[in-house]
Amino acid sequence: MKGQRINPNNLNPMQMNNMSSMAGMMNTMQKIGKSKRKYTVSLDKSNKKFLSRFIDEIKKQFGSSPIPQGQGVMSFLDYLKNECEKKDKKEFKVSFEELEFLKKMLSDSLRGIEGMKFKWYQFPKKIFLNIMLKQYKYLLEELKK
């Protein structure tokens, strides 16, 4: 796939940051599944359950992508889903790139939730998203340990 040329003078700094972030994410996606899983991540029962639901949402996003990097990501997500569903184990192993990818996905989702604005009459949705926001922050803290 050939890259498209873009005039940097026509972009504002926010667009440049977004493009740089996307390029970094693609670079990380290419490395997923190629190195040894030597970092141990330990999560409690509630975080594993929330991570399992989060993985389902990520799979929906990557499910229809025809890019070849998607196979490595999908196999990693399948591995992570299987590890989260094991009730007797509280920890699983990931590589550095996989851990960084997971942190990046969580932080991007967190940033997206924080940027949402609601009308005054949408208070149930706002309460629900505040609870989700706390869960995302807690899971991200656990992964950064």
What confidence tens digit (pLDDT) does each residue in 13-31 have?
777 777 777 777 777 777 7
Q: According to the model, what pLDDT value does residue 66 have?
A: 65
Per-residue pLDDT, averaged over 101-123, amounts to: 87
Q: Taking the model in full, what pTM does it have?
A: 0.76
The closest alpha carbon to 93, from 71, 76, 106, 110, belongs to: 76
Using CA atoms, how far apart are residues 92 and 84, in angstroms rounded to an integer?
Answer: 8
